[in-house]
Amino acid sequence: MVNRVLVDYNGLKVSKPGIDVLYASDNDLLFTSKGIAYRPYASGQTYIPGRGTFAIPIGKSFAGSPLMIAWAGDYVFAGVDIWSCFMDIDGNGTSTEASLGWRRGDNNMVFYISGNYQQPFPEPPFVLNWIVFDWDSA
């Protein structure tokens, strides 16, 4: 019999069967209370057919803006409120070429890609992968 549940000043941990929770790494845990603060809410893909603004319904009114991470090819975006996180994706010093964020009002995640950036960012069409993290559950 091994120790499976640990409650101490760090919080609560439950290990996988056969793993002693006292020596378990995070990968050996079924649950850890320290992970709740950044629990993924939803994830998926969006087809980006061209340059423009694309809204992805998220369907929830968050108390605070959720954290969003998206990636296409080798490029990773992160954002919170829409239009608060612009990015210079071609490295030319102009930071208004892309944005990712949550749009209050219609509960949509919005990805914007401008018409004036140059390579090396992938030219549409491409598939954007994304994850929304729910701060509200912290």
Partner 1 sequence: MIAQYDSRGMIIVTYNDPVPPEIIAAIEASGQTFVNLPPLPGPPRQKLDFSGEPVFEDDGVTPVLVDGNLIYQSVSCDLHYVKDGQIFERPSFAVPGEIRLAIGEVASFQVPTGSTLIDSDNSLHTIDDGVLEFEGDAAGSHKYRLENFPYRSLKLEVIVE
Contact residues toward partner 1 (CB under 8 A) are 1-2, 4, 16-19, 41-47, 56-60, 107, 125, 127
Closer CB to partner 1, residue 42 or residue 86? 42
Q: Name every residue whose Cβ is closer than 8 Å to that of residue 134 and which is 6 or more positions away in sequence.
A: 39, 40, 41, 60, 62, 66
SS3 of 27-66: the string is HHEEEEHHHHHHCEEEEEEEEECCCEEEEEECCCCCCCCC
Tell me how far apart the alpha carbons of residues 49 and 68 are, in angstroms, rounded to a whole number: 21
Tell me how far apart the alpha carbons of residues 42 and 10 are, in angstroms, rounded to a whole number: 27
Closer CB to partner 1, residue 99 or residue 111? 111
In whole angstroms, the minimum distance from the beta carbon of 78 to partner 1 comes to 19
Closer CB to partner 1, residue 89 or residue 132? 132
Closer CB to partner 1, residue 61 or residue 93? 61
In whole angstroms, the minimum distance from the beta carbon of 26 to partner 1 comes to 18
In whole angstroms, the minimum distance from the beta carbon of 95 to partner 1 comes to 25
